[in-house]
Chain A
Amino acid sequence: DQQVKQNSPSLSVQEGRISILNCDYTNSMFDYFLWYKKYPAEGPTFLISISSIKDKNEDGRFTVFLNKSAKHLSLHIVPSQPGDSAVYFCAASVTGTYKYIFGTGTRLKVLA
């Protein structure tokens, strides 16, 4: 049972445009969400997080939106840059626990 789903395995976007990566979850107990970026042959690196008390968190070009009623979060990258080309994972957890549940990832390709 996949509790965190990233239904788009890949996405291509033109440089300078907006990239929107989506993530859906099924466990209504999840209340903390993170996005990680992964380059080939490297471990994932933390990008941005959001708590369920918020519906938006912004950090530079990266914004994460959370829609609790739809159990959906999205990562917006604007403007997209070629260096953003990577695999993006969303992850979810429950306050007070230590376990993060990861999605299967979306491969983003930003075209120059």
Chain B
Amino acid sequence: GAGVSQSPSNKVTEKGKDVELRCDPISGHTALYWYRQSLGQGLEFLIYFQGNSAPDKSGLPSDRFSAERTGGSVSTLTIQRTQQEDSAVYLCASSTGGSLGYEQYFGPGTRLTVT
């Protein structure tokens, strides 16, 4: 598989629990993005990685959200003490560069449901 993969595809968790979402970008892609799509909303930018560095974390909704990327490849998005408003589809995308004009390739997303 040459595309962006995400796991799990679906996650149901109880309010207050921590969850970890994983993204495997396309090999060689240096830029990696996390987005969130809540019901009836557009794609909300969360965080961007260039290599292992995250130049801008301002899109993260609260300090319960964190993300890391290791080896310039796999990224994990962690949500601590989940709340019902965290329920959404979390999408990861990667591209060959971080600047304008580079097409982003999206994974299928992780649907998170917080009960």
**Chain A interface residues toward B at CB < 8 A:** 2, 4, 6, 32, 34, 36, 41-46, 49, 89, 91, 93-105
Contacts and interface: CB of A to CB of B under 8 A. Distances in A.
20 contacts: A41-B108, A41-B109, A42-B108, A43-B4, A43-B91, A43-B105, A43-B107, A44-B91, A44-B106, A49-B101, A91-B43, A98-B55, A98-B98, A99-B45, A99-B56, A100-B104, A102-B35, A102-B45, A103-B42, A105-B42
Contacts, number: 63
Interface of B: 4, 31, 33, 35, 40-45, 48, 50, 55-56, 59, 91, 93, 98-101, 103-109
A70 B98 CA distance: 28
A16 to B, nearest CB: 29
B31 A98 contact: yes
A1 B42 CA distance: 12
